[in-house]
Amino acid sequence: MKNIKHLIEPGDFTIEELDSLFRLADAIIADPNKYLDRCKGKLLASLFFEPSTRTRFSFESAMLRLGGQIIGFDDPAASSTSKGESLADTIRTVGCYADIAVLRHPREGTAKLASKYSEDMPVINAGDGGHQHPTQTLTDLMTIRHYKKRLDGHVIAICGDLKFGRTIHSLVKAMSRYEGVRFIFISPEELRMPSYILEGLDESTYMQTDQLESVIHEADILYMSRVQRERFVSEEEYERLKNYYILDKEKLTGAKDDMIVMHPLPRVNEICEEVDDDPRAVYFHQARFGMFIRMALILRLLNMEVEQ
Amino acid sequence: MINVSKIKKGIVIDHIAQGQGYKIFSQLKLDEIEDVVVLLRNIPSNKMGKKDLIKIETEIPLDLTVLGLIDPNITINIIKDGLRVDKIKLTLPLKVTGILKCKNPRCITQHEKVKDVEFILADAASRIYRCEYCDSHTSL
C-alpha cells in the first residue's frame, strides 16, 4: 500500500500539520491566482450519498479554482450502489479514475471503511451520519483563528443537538487538543454529548447544562446548532426546550463584547435574524473560509502545493 | 465420571464457567487444528459447582487474549513434559476482533460486509469497547 494520507477524523492531522494547513490556506487567500493551475489534470470524485449544498459546492469550487476537474454524483440512486454494489467495490472502481475522493454518507464510519479500500486515492470524510465532519472543523478552526488570533485558551459554549451533531463532535475532538480550552455543553438531557466524546476529555475541562442564558457570559465562542425536532418523542417537550436555544439580541446582552457566534449552517430558527447584524455574528464568514481551507487540503493530500 | 488423561505438551484452559466452553472452543477456532483437543463440559467443581475445561495437545501457539474478554476468571496452564510450567493470568484485551458486534444501527458495519471489525477497550471497569468505525460503545 502506498503512503497516502486520508482525512477521516480531526485526529488524522497533528496540531503542527493543521497549523501548516492553515498557513497554506492563508497563502491561497492572499494570492489565489498563484494556485489557479496547481491541480491541472487532476480529478476529484465527489461522492455524495446524502444531500449537501454547502460542503459539496465548497469542495467542487475548491477543486475548480485549483484548475482540477470533478466527477461524481449527489444522489445515490444515480450510482451503482442502487444496484446493490458494495461501498468497497465503488471505492476501488472510483480509485481507477480519480486522484482524490470526497465522501458523504448517512452511515457512520463509512469514510473510514472507504479509506481501507483506497490504495492510492486519498479519501476525505465530508460527513458520515451523526459521527464526524472534519472539514467543517477545519473551517471552524480557520474562523476561530481568524477572529480570536489563536486556538488555545478559549471557553467554547456549544449549544443545541450535541448527540447527533457531527460538526460538533469533530470540533470538540479537534479543539480539545489545544491547551487551556474549556467547553460548556448546552443541550437538553436527551441530546447530550455522546460518551465516546466525553471520555476523550479531562473532566475538569467541560461542564454540561441545559441553560444558555446562565452561561453565555463565560463564553469566548458560542457555537450554535439546530435542535432537531424529529429527535423528540414528545412534541410538548420539544416546544418547552426549543426556546432555550433561540439566540436573540436579548440573550446576547449577557455575552462578552468580543465573543463570536458561530454556526455550521444551515440555520433554521435557532438564531434570530436580528442577530445577523451583530458584529459578533461570524457564521456567514465561516462559509467563505470553507472553500480556501478545502483548497489547501486538496493540495496537501495530493502533494501539489507550491513553496510558500 | 469420564477420565481424560494428562497431556504432555500444550494448554489446559480451566475454570471456564459452565456453558462457556463451546464458545471458547469456537472463538479459538479449535475445530480447525489437527491436534488432539478435548472439551469437557459440566465437570463437578468445589469452587464453581460445575465448570467446563479444554485440553489442547499442541505445539502451535494460540492467541488467547480474547479469553480475557469472555471470562477473566479462566485459568490457563501451559504444560510441558506433562508438567505445568506456566500459569497465564488473563487481562482484558486492549483490542478485540471477531467477537463483538457494533450495536449502533447507524454504523456502516451493520449495512456492509465488513471483515475483522476492531473494538478498542474504552472502559476496563465496565468492560466497554468502542467500535473502530463509529466509536459507539458496546460490550459482550
**pLDDT one-digit tens code per residue, A233-279:** 678 877 776 766 889 999 999 999 999 999 998 888 899 999 999 99
CA A305 centroid distance within chain: 23
pLDDT in tens, chain A (308 residues): 567 999 999 999 999 999 999 999 999 999 999 999 999 999 999 999 988 888 999 999 999 999 999 999 988 777 777 777 899 999 999 999 999 999 999 999 999 999 999 999 999 999 999 899 999 999 999 999 999 999 999 999 999 989 888 999 999 999 999 999 999 999 988 889 999 899 999 999 999 999 999 999 999 999 999 876 665 667 887 777 676 688 999 999 999 999 999 999 888 889 999 999 999 999 999 988 999 999 999 999 999 975 54
Alpha carbons A222 and A262: distance in angstroms, whole number: 6
Strands lying side by side in the sheet with B95-97: B95-97, B118-123, B128-131, B137-138
CA distances to A123, B94, B121 from B118, rounded to whole Å, are 20, 10, 10
Give every strand in the sheet of A100-105, ordered side by side.
Answer: A69-73, A43-48, A100-105, A123-128
Q: How far, in Å, CA of B100 to CA of A219, rounded? A: 41
B27-38 pLDDT, tens digit each: 888 998 899 999
Contacts of A128 in chain B (CB under 8 A): 108, 134
pLDDT score, position A241: 67
ipTM above 0.85, yes or no: yes
Predicted pLDDT at A231: 56
B77 lies in the same domain as B99: no
Domain ranges of chain A: 10-133+289-301, 135-287
Residue A227 to residues A77, A230, A272, A273, B50: CA-CA distances in angstroms?
Answer: 29, 9, 14, 17, 54
- Per DSSP, A12 falls in state G
Is the same domain home to B25 and B43? yes
Strand partners, A7: A124
Residue that finishes a domain, picked among B48, B72, B88: B88
- Under DSSP, the state recorded for A132 is B
Q: Which of A113, A130, A196 sits opposite B106 (nearest CB)?
A: A130
For residue B56, give the CATH number of its domain. Answer: 3.30.70.140
Q: For residues B70 and B126, state if they share a domain.
A: no
CATH classification at residue B120 = 2.30.30.20
Residue A16 C-alpha cell reads as 503542527
Which of B106, B107, B108, B131 to mutate against chain A (most A CBs within 10 Å)? B108
**Same domain (yes/no): B76, B16:** yes
| Second-level CATH architecture of A135-287 | 3-Layer(aba) Sandwich (3.40)
Q: Is residue B3 in a domain?
A: no
Give the model's pLDDT for residue B111: 93
Residue B29 maps to a domain: yes
* pLDDT, position A300: 97
In a domain? residue B2: no
Chain A interface, Cβ < 8 Å to B? 86-88, 105-110, 112-113, 128-131, 194-196, 199
Domain extent at residue B125? 95-138
Q: Residue B38 falls within a domain, yes or no?
A: yes
pLDDT of residue B99: 83
Q: Are residues B58 and B127 in the same domain?
A: no
Residue A155, Cβ neighbours under 10 Å: how many? 17
For residue A195, list chain B residues with Cβ-Cβ distance below 8 A.
Answer: 137
- Burial (CB count <10 Å: 0-12, 13-18, 19+), residue A218: middle
Whether residue B35 is contained in a domain is answered as yes
Give the amino acid at A196.
Y
Q: Is residue B78 part of a domain?
A: yes
Which of A115, A143, A289 lies closest to A223, judged by CA?
A: A143
Which H or E element spans position A101?
Answer: strand A100-105
In the prediction, which pLDDT does A307 show?
Answer: 52
A–B CB contacts, 8 A cutoff, strictly below? 54
CATH architecture, domain A10-133+289-301: 3-Layer(aba) Sandwich (3.40)
Please report residues of A whose CB lies closer than 8 A to that of B136. Answer: 108, 194, 196
Q: A194 and B133 in contact by Cβ < 8 A?
A: no
B111 near A CB under 8 A: yes
Q: Would you give the distance in Å from CA B65 to the centre of its chain?
A: 7
- The low-confidence residues of chain B, meaning pLDDT below 50, are none
Contacting residues for A104 by C-beta, under 8 A, at least 6 apart: A47, A48, A49, A50, A52, A55, A56, A126, A127, A128
* Whole-number percent of chain A with pLDDT over 70: 94
Residue B50 covered by a domain? yes
Contacts of B130 in chain A (CB under 8 A): 196
Q: Give the pLDDT of residue A264.
A: 92
User: Both B108 and B131 in a single domain?
Assistant: yes
CB contact under 8 A, A109 and B122: no
Read out DSSP for A172-216? HHHHTTSTT-EEEEE--GGGPPPHHHHTTS-GGGEEEES-STTTG
B5 within domain boundaries: no
Give chain A positions within 8 Å (CB) of B132.
109, 112
What is the C-alpha to C-alpha distance for residues B2 and B53, in angstroms, rounded to an integer?
A: 13
Grid cell at residue A224: 450554535
Q: Can you tell me the distance from the alpha carbon of A25 to that of A237, in angstroms, rounded to the nearest whole number?
A: 44
Which 3 state secondary structure label does DSSP give A105? strand
Handedness of CA A237, A242, A243, A245 (dihedral sign): positive
Q: Say if residue B68 is in the same domain as residue B23.
A: yes
What are the chain B neighbours of A105 within 8 Å (beta carbons)? 108
Q: What domain count does chain B have?
A: 2
